[in-house]
Amino acid sequence: MGCIVEWSTPWKEPVHTFISNPTMRIRYDMDGGICLDSEWLIILGGVGAVTFLVGLLAGFFAMRRYHDARFLVVAQECSAKDSLVPLIIEMERET
């Protein structure tokens, strides 16, 4: 069940909106447009920003873990051969 709500802004005439779920704070106007409260947009923006930062950190640590493990393998090869040739080969392979 929904309800029809009348609200207005300082620069417009009152607008009649249909709220299908008042707890979600999403308003559907009579023309089919969607209006979100500013609080709801701040919450969604915050969730999006946190998700983006978590993805950045996860990618950073995954790449760091890969390169740390690869560096240990190359360092052991350099130690075994007593030469820098494996390091140079690895640099060529990565670029």
Sorted by where each begins, the domain ranges of the chain are 3-36, 56-94
Average pLDDT over residues 9-31: 55
Higher pLDDT, 68 or 39: 68
Phi/psi for 40 (5° steps) reads -65, -40
CA-derived radius of gyration, the chain: 28
**Alpha-carbon span 77 to 75, nearest angstrom:** 5
Looking at the whole model, is its pTM more than 0.75?
no
Q: What's the pLDDT tens digit per position in 51-92? A: 999 999 999 999 999 989 988 988 898 888 888 888 888 888
